[in-house]
Chains A and B, each alone.
Chain A
């Protein structure tokens, strides 16, 4: 059963209220044939709610949806599927230990239409025609130029490949209209470019809505843009008519500029010294081999590189979470080799980890408990191992104000916060501990511009206080804005270290790709 093509999708006056909050207020939009609409806005602006309404996960309190000028009502996601709307979520919904074909077959049955009669239904329920599914996948992936190996297991695939599987899955289900929720948030820059190219090709046949807060890709991909702020539609128009700065200002409600490291203060003495470091990765390979790195006090060293070149292993080795094979690590003259995470924390090491949702916080514990995760055994948060709730509450209230953590209460589970606020909780904890050194891994990945601006300002302020910072990122703009020096990591080694003045996007991009003579 293939739904007819969607030549227009229109929503009119959509309003959705939740207890105490209006998530979407009187929003009207229209998307025509081959349109690519970028839906931008900060976290909590109502983008995801609006898309969930289009997917039939929520019903609007007011307003209507029209497809091909006919009003439709979605009571469940299968209603939305049935007319050809498909969504690729931010978190991929794939079973890691099944193959691509099996994953796609999982959702197929319910979508092949209602079978007539009990016997037929029973037969269809029992039969698993993987070959047919496989043929279908090959046909779809060839048609759209989506390279996917139908026999690969999901766990073998990179994040970018998994996303292609999600796309193929959605298309196999007969989607004629794609909704993508922050499709690039987990992708490397190369994968992002590939995806943009791919979507541009697909948009010849399909209409696409994609949610994003990266303005570069909004400009690159979309022909229309709609901006949400606080649940309201504040702007819609053609992308080409507006600059990134205009869109950013509309999105946040004020002019946004990401802060730039302009301080000319000379850095101090070497603080973190890494010599001839060897570290093994999860699969036993040597992820870091003979790496040398020095970071001085009051200096931000940006570690640029495509993810998977040893950044994670390096960060974990420096924080004691991963044992090293050989080499020397010193923080302020004290060797960290063989020390436990606890001892390294006590030496003044701060760490903003890559996976903020599962490593940086204990998601099911409250915000206030997470803020004292590293300090629970010391005064004033506990005395003689008895916890002082008053001190923990006071600390949480201070941090909430100082770091602008937006939450209904500091007693709610930290995992219920948005990405930006989780990062603020982590940063609040790490900064308030007055570290000598801070390792920040992808600190603004997936965050909106307002939160990114805030976090960058905090990092620069910390640098001016004389803290040494190792900034690990693959966003060249972030690295160039903040770093005093830039080290490029490639295959577990520092390819070269550049001063702030000699580095350019182009140079770094080539070095990250492994080109040596520039």
Chain B
């Protein structure tokens, strides 16, 4: 049978889409929501206005940067689940520099971003060094460093960096607003376009970062060695590559990306330090990285797709659809599961062979009849 592989691939994907929609419909029906309306809000509402679309882009920005950073670590053989902590330390460093560095204007903005990167890099390097020197599992250390970072940041927000205006009150702890010359400008401020283009310039930072990391990993000798060390540490050692050195370097680069993502989020969206400002991107970035095939350029569409769903789900309540906002987690989990399954099914020649036999047997019977 000709082109069986093509039909098979299309068939599997179609089946997966149908399956996802079916399961989601079931959940929605149980919750008492209108299925079609819900899907419309999740998948189409983000594109209805420029303002909504800008919201998607603003979510996509940190997701892309974190995702790219996670790719670097993964490709180098380290599972960095410390993105959240590296974001927090990065943005904390950025905020401190912005508040006390005394440099304003474009130079200050660039320097703040760099300081944020340095903070993330430092925080990322620690688990890297622990693994390289003492063989400490990065799964353990990065998670622990997340706790430390989060609590440290929380302390800083409540004590040294606390905005005097909310001190003593019952409001959420936060810092004072950063000087507005340090904010990432909005797209409509940079270019004479419709006011609806409200997303901040961080998206350009993200796209540039993805390209830089791609070039770094695939066009430089350091990237080559990191990929070799990640793919097979024994072969890399045999080839004269100092595996532990490149392991630490990978964590530095990965941490720098996460630190940058945190700082961009502050300078682009919040304009001050406050609680929960990482938005969980340190974790969802891991999913985005995997979803993007662990390739820096694959992360871009993956992050976009996730941002659409994320924005759509968060818009459910505004649209008066009676679905709890944490539905997003259920839906995202469902989508990921199905995509992973589809990838596996498509890439297994054994399953394909079996399917082909079944189909041919069925067709053969028809012909015989």
Contact = CB atoms under 8 A, between A and B. Distances in A.
Contacts of B240: 340-342, 344-346, 374
A362 B236 contact: yes
B350 A57 contact: yes
Interface stretch (B11-19, B219-227, B247-255, B340-348): B219-227
Given A362-B228, A362-B232, A365-B231, A385 B241 contact: no
A450 to B, nearest CB: 26
Interface in B180-222: 218-222
A75 B219 CA distance: 47
A374 B240 CA distance: 7
A387 B220 contact: yes
Contact of A341 (B221, B224, B225, B238): B238
Nearest to A19: B5
B357 A364 contact: no
Given A57-B350, A362-B231, A365-B228, A373 B219 contact: no
A387 B219 contact: yes
A386 B236 contact: no
B235 interface: yes
A321 B220 contact: no
Interface in A289-326: 319, 321
B37 interface: no
Contacts of A351: 238
A360 B235 contact: yes
Contact of A364 (B219, B231, B237): B231
Contacts, number: 74
A360 B238 contact: yes
Contacts of B227: 365
B228 A58 contact: no
B38 to A, nearest CB: 38
B222 A385 contact: yes
A416 to B, nearest CB: 13
A319 B224 CA distance: 22
A342 B231 contact: no
A353 B236 CA distance: 13
Interface in A351-404: 351, 353, 355, 358-365, 369, 373-374, 376-377, 382, 385-387
A359 B241 contact: no
Contacts of B239: 341, 345, 362, 373-374
Contact of A387 (B224, B237, B350): B224
Given A59-B353, A362-B228, A365-B228, A373 B235 contact: yes
Interface string A332-351: 00000000111011100001
Contacts of A342: 240-242
A377 B240 CA distance: 11
A114 B321 CA distance: 50
Contact of B221 (A57, A340, A346, A377): A377
Interface in B259-306: none
Contact of B232 (A319, A364, A374): A364
Contacts of B220: 382, 385-387
Given A75-B354, A363-B232, 6 more contacts: A341-B237, A342-B242, A355-B234, A359-B232, A362-B235, A362-B236
Interface of A: 57-59, 75, 319, 321, 340-342, 344-346, 351, 353, 355, 358-365, 369, 373-374, 376-377, 382, 385-387
18 contacts: A75-B357, A319-B238, A340-B240, A341-B238, A342-B240, A342-B242, A344-B240, A345-B240, A358-B235, A359-B234, A360-B235, A362-B231, A362-B232, A362-B235, A364-B231, A376-B221, A376-B225, A387-B221
4 tightest A-B contacts by CB?
Answer: A342-B240, A373-B239, A345-B240, A362-B235
